């Protein structure tokens, strides 16, 4: 069985200039925007008391994004808010003026016209962009990497988007989307990874993800928990991880939670950068074969990388069996605990938490993180069974690759 690799963050700190992207006032704007949608409700924060007792920690709380806007994943939060921010900028408005009703009005469509939003995705981000474009009367074009399942392709096509599965990896699809947008009148790239010269829209996407972090923060308070002591957050390019880390660092500046960033070992670009200790990003290329399709990204978001290297405690690279373990644990909870239907990219944090608390070979990591009976751990199940057939094979049939 392949082992989990982990590294304590010893990278040199920077001026931390990107932390302002996730300022609480910016996240509040995103939250207000999402609340204006008729489909909006808070997604559940599952309290797994039986699981926590068995693991030997104070509490386990899982944010269940399978309920988000009926799309079975969190990604729509970023895509929709970035599109609203773009339209606001083009029409000389503040985004606070562009509620769902205004954005979907004939008046605004006549004023703004029609853009074509291009993106690359393994499924969830593209589905969110396509859904938002469809609702707002805009066009969407989606490039998907090889290995993408037909189920995920069809979910995007149902939203009136153009979508294709290409014979290249995710990062190459990003480049294809950017090239196509550059050749298209009113073409706009909506991508949750940033690179030099492309940072504004990714920062808006991260702010959109902040809605989920803010909800979880409020829900912990409703459970009588102050701040979480620990957060496990998964990463592909790192946009979500940077958003969650950035939100909680701004929310609790004097006593921030201990954050663990979790990657697939097939695409562990952030972990590799941590091991190098020089603060420079590293790139993973090739096919990146993993069941965690949403994490199969090899080039870090430059904005998030700056936030993460200044604040994260530990980076971990996990084999597929860790995610599969987490999926099964969440699907078959202790009596009295709620079930969480968590997909391959959503459950790896749960799997890692199990390994740290129950497997002797990771006891050193347990000590480094200070996980004990006083700990309250926040996890984010970022997707449900976005590919139901694959979910059943893993959870019911025991497949792990």
Catalytic site positions: 75, 122
- Dihedral sign from CA coordinates of 178, 112, 32, 62: negative
Q: What does the alpha-carbon distance between residue 184 and residue 177 come to, in Å, rounded to a whole number?
A: 11
* CA 134 remoteness from chain centre: 22
CA nearest to 204, candidates 194, 212, 213: 194
Instruction: Mark residue 286 as left, alpha or beta (left: phi above 0; alpha: psi -120 to 50; beta: remaining).
Output: left
User: Does residue 135 sit in helix, strand or coil?
Assistant: helix
232-to-62, 72, 275, 316, 348 alpha-carbon distances in Å: 10, 20, 19, 10, 9
Reading the block at residue 299, the tokens are 């080039």
Spell out the SS3 assignment of 43-79. Answer: CCEEECHHHHHHHCCCEEEEEEHHHHHHCCECCHHHH
Contact 371, 362 (CB under 8 A): no
**Cβ(344)–Cβ(147) under 8 Å?**
no
Q: In what order do the strands lie in the sheet with 116-120?
A: 162-165, 139-144, 116-120, 187-189
Q: DSSP label at 198?
A: B
d(CA 309, CA 187): 33
Report DSSP state, residue 361.
Answer: G
DSSP string, 259-328: EEEEEEGGG-HHHHHHHH-SS------S----S-GGG---S--HHHHHHHHHH-SEEEEE-HHHHHHHHH
């Amino acid at each position: 069985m392949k082992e989990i690799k982990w590294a304590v963050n010893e990278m040199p700190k920077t001026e931390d200039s990107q932390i302002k992207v996730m300022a609480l006032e910016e996240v509040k704007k995103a939250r207000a925007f999402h609340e204006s949608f008729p489909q909006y409700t808070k997604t559940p924060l599952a309290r797994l008391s039986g699981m926590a007792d068995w693991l030997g920690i104070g509490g386990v709380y899982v944010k269940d994004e399978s309920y988000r806007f009926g799309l079975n994943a969190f990604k729509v939060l970023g895509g929709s808010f970035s599109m609203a921010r773009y339209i606001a900028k083009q029409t000389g408005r503040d985004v606070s003026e562009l509620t769902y009703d205004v954005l979907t009005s004939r008046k605004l469509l006549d004023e703004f016209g029609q853009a074509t939003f291009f993106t690359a995705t393994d499924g969830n981000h593209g589905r969110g962009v396509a859904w938002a474009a469809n609702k707002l009367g805009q066009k969407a074009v989606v490039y998907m990497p090889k290995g993408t399942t037909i189920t995920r392709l069809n979910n995007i096509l149902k939203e009136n988007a153009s979508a294709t599965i290409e014979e290249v990896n995710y990062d190459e699809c990003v480049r294809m989307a950017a090239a196509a947008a550059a050749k298209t009148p009113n073409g706009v790239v909506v991508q949750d990874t940033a690179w030099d010269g492309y940072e504004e829209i990714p920062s808006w996407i991260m702010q959109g993800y902040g809605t989920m972090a803010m909800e979880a923060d409020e829900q912990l308070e409703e459970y009588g928990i102050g701040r979480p002591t620990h957060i496990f957050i998964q990463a592909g390019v790192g946009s979500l991880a940077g958003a969650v880390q950035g939100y909680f660092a701004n929310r609790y500046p004097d006593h921030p939670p201990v954050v663990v960033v979790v990657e697939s070992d097939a695409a562990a670009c952030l972990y590799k950068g941590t091991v190098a200790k020089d603060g420079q990003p590293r790139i993973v290329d090739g096919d990146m074969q993993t069941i965690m399709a949403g994490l199969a990204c090899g080039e870090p978001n430059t904005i998030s990388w700056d936030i993460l290297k200044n604040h994260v405690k530990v980076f971990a690279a996990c084999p597929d069996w860790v995610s599969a373990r987490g999926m099964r644990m969440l699907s078959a909870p202790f009596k009295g605990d709620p079930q969480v239907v968590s997909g391959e990219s959503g459950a790896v944090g749960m799997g890692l938490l199990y390994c740290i608390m129950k497997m002797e070979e990771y006891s050193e990591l347990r000590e480094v993180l200070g996980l004990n009976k006083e700990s309250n751990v926040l996890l984010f199940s970022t997707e449900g069974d976005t590919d139901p057939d694959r979910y059943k094979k893993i959870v019911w049939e025991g497949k792990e690759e």
